[in-house]
Amino acid sequence: MMTTSGTDGRESRARAFPEGFLWGTATSAYQVEGGAQSDGRGPSVWDTFSHTPGKVRGGDTGDIACDFYHRSEDDLDRLKALGLAAFRFSVSWPRLQAEGRGAVNQRGLDFYRSLVDGLLARAIEPTITLYHWDLPQALEDEGGWAKRDTAERFAEYAEIVAEAIGDVGGMWITVNEPQVVAHEGYRIGMHAPGHRDDALAAAATHHLLLAHGLALPRLRAAMPAARVGITFDMHPVRALGSGAEEAARITEAEQNRIFFDPVVHGRYPAAARGNLLPPSSLVRDGDLELVGAPIDFLGVNYYSPTFVKLVGACGQEAGETSIAGMPGVVAVKPEHLPRTSQGWLVDPEGLYDLLVTVAGEIPPGCPIYVTENGCAAEDYVTPEGEVNDVERIDYLHGHLGAAWRAIQDGVPLAGYFYWSLFDNFEWAWGYQKRFGLVFVDFPTQRRIPKRSATFYSGVARANALPYAPNGATPGRPERVTGELVDA
Ligand code: BG6
């Protein structure tokens, strides 16, 4: 660690990350590509869902999104200019198999071939997600993730991608955030395909995991040099006040462990409630061995923690959200924590806690990557043409500080991907929430790197987090600059 004496007499420190720490940004196909009907792409559940009135804010769809499908060369130059070593993107299954099975659409494959070649030519490591929520609609019509067959089809598709572009090596993520797919897509219907059915969600839970388990050996056989893992959205769950510990334990099992435990420990968590767990009739002999087979890395997406408490004597109060199936327990957002413009809690400490917990359970030698972390902010372009997103810089500073501390405390964290490179189609939020390092003016497709892009690029180039004066973060964004005090 480098230290210097600050001008005010206090010691200042730039916090160096380990050599080789991987700095990247993340995107996903439906959120950025557009080209919804280009070159033989078939419809996905998100095309159907976003075109259904009332499902996405403002009636937005991913038809055009950031038009990345047609602008990727220029965008890769932008990425290169940021000096980041890795780029996470997802492959669109319906672009390769319009109906989720059968013959491969060569034009779709050509796009990803040129994308990975373009990355390698710029010395950027591809990090490839195989499933980031855009299930071919034809498979949903046959039952989607509630059907075992979908997991089999996924494994075939995964092998096709590996055989076509697996020579690039790098990191491969089978499934992104299966918990969100099962919960939002099948249990509460806020995401595609929009079901509200516990039994479908429990079945989807098992089949998403099985998809990962069936794909693993095929991916390994097709590309021995690549590293294969999976990405979970994880939330530290905290009990507020006495008596809420049991509710926190159950919530933690249902939000995190229902996917984490089968992959890491080869079993479903006993603490999750029965109606969320897949029924034994769906779990065949050998399934959990497949799901729990060793992975080469674990991807963790962190945005915010969950707080639960018991309903007080006066009943449920404003700002408290009931939890389905848990009478007397509510989720709350404590006043002392800042929130993003989306209302999500900002709590870097949550990232630290999560990383330490995960590191204590994964097998020795399995590195962790933060495959997503980021925030939506009320970004706008000034008359001078700049986007001064100081909130995002503050968010990054706080979370990277937490990641750095976790590494000092022994967590095998090997990389960090900011979500997202661009403002993009934010699922049910449409284009109203901007997460990008690069501002996108959607009507013109003009890109403007935000101030946070300069900050993050500086961190990545220096492989160190700049010193910020005491109290500068969180909450005092104006004092955090893109300049390194020492490096
Ligand atoms: C993660 C997803 O859940 O969070 C991303 O993997 C997503 O695809 C990001 O965009 C932000 O979430 P949201 O719900 O605001 O779009």
Q: What is the DSSP string of 286-312?
A: THHHHHTS--SEEEEE----EEEEE--
Q: 101 CA distance to ligand 1 centroid (A)? A: 27
Residue 312 CA to ligand 1 center (angstroms) comes to: 32
Non-local (6+) Cβ contacts of 337 within 8 A are: 345, 346, 347
Regarding the beta carbon of 427 and ligand 1, being less than 6 Å apart is answered yes
Both tokens of 100, joined, read 């989720």
pLDDT per residue over 410-437, tens digit each?
Answer: 999 999 999 999 999 999 999 999 999 9
* Nearest protein CA to atom 13 of ligand 1, as residue: 426
As a whole number, mean pLDDT of residues 376-387 equals 97
Q: Is the pLDDT of residue 477 over 50?
A: no
Beta carbons of 331 and 323 less than 8 angstroms apart: yes
Q: Is any atom of ligand 1 closer than 6 Å to the C-beta of 429?
A: yes
Interval 197-212 mean pLDDT: 98
* Predicted local confidence at residue 315, as pLDDT: 85
Long-range contacts of 408-412 (CB under 8 A, 24+ apart): 409/356, 410/359, 411/355, 411/356, 411/358, 411/359, 411/368, 412/359, 412/365, 412/366, 412/367, 412/368
Q: Is 180 in the pocket of ligand 1 (CB under 6 A)?
A: yes
Is the CB of 371 inside a 6 Å radius of any atom of ligand 1? no
Task: Report which of residues 311 and 45 the model is more confident about.
Answer: 45
- Which amino acid makes up residue 313? A
- Is there a contact between 137 and 47 (Cβ–Cβ < 8 Å)? yes
Predicted pLDDT of residue 312: 84
Residue bearing the CA closest to ligand 1, atom 15 = 426
pLDDT band for position 467 (50/70/90)?
Answer: confident
Ligand 1 touching residue 419 (CB < 6 A): yes
Q: What are the C-alpha distances in Å from 162 to residues 25, 223, 296?
A: 22, 6, 16
Percent of the chain scoring above 90 in pLDDT: 87
Q: Quote the strand ranges of 101-203, DSSP E.
A: 125-131, 171-176
Look up 33 and say whether it is catalytic.
no
Q: 381 near 448, Cβ under 8 Å?
A: yes
**C-alpha to C-alpha distance for 397 and 375, rounded to whole angstroms:** 12
Q: Which ligand 1 atom is the nearest neighbour of the CA of 342?
A: 15
Distance 76 CA to ligand 1 centre (A): 22
pLDDT at 10 over 50: no
Q: Residue 470: what pLDDT? A: 52
d(CA 105, CA 41): 8
Q: Which of the residues 125, 252, 254, 372 is marked catalytic?
A: 372
Q: What's the CA-to-centroid distance between 487 and ligand 1, angstroms?
A: 33
pLDDT confidence bin for 75, thresholds 50/70/90:
very high
The two three-digit tokens of residue 185, written as one number: 């897509």
68-83 burial, b if ≥16 CB within 10 A, otherwise e?
bbebbeebbebbbebe
Q: Could you tell me where the DSSP H helices lie in 44-126?
A: 45-50, 68-82, 93-96, 106-121
- For the chain, what is the mean pLDDT? 93
Distance (Å) from CA 232 to ligand 1 centroid: 12
The reply to whether ligand 1 has any atom less than 6 angstroms from the CB of 28 is yes
Closest atom, ligand 1, to C-alpha of 427:
16
**Among protein residues, the one whose CA lies closest to atom 10 of ligand 1:** 426
Record the tokens describing residue 15, joined without a space: 């916090």
**What does the pLDDT read at residue 481?**
38
Predicted confidence band at 9 (pLDDT cuts at 50, 70, 90)?
very low
Helix (H, G, I), strand (E, B) or coil at 161: helix
Nearest CA to ligand 1 atom 7: 426
For 440, the enclosing helix (H) or strand (E) is strand 438-441
Yes or no: say if 119 and 180 are a contact pair by the CB < 8 Å rule: no
Q: Is the CB of 373 under 6 A from ligand 1?
A: no
Q: How many CA atoms lie within 13 A of 403 on its CB side?
A: 30
Query: Among residues of the chain, what percentage have pLDDT more than 70?
Result: 94
State mean pLDDT over 132-155.
98
Do the Cβ atoms of 117 and 165 come closer than 8 Å? Answer: no
Question: Which among 33, 177, 184, 254 is annotated as catalytic?
Answer: 177
What DSSP state is assigned to residue 44?
Answer: B
From the CB of 394, is ligand 1 less than 6 Å away?
A: no
Predicted model pTM: 0.94
Active site residue 152: no
For the segment 34-50, what is each residue's pLDDT rounded down to a tens digit? 999 999 999 999 999 99
134 lines ligand 1 (CB under 6 A): no
- Nearest residue (CA) to ligand 1, atom 8: 28
Q: Which two tokens stand for residue 177?
A: 């955030």
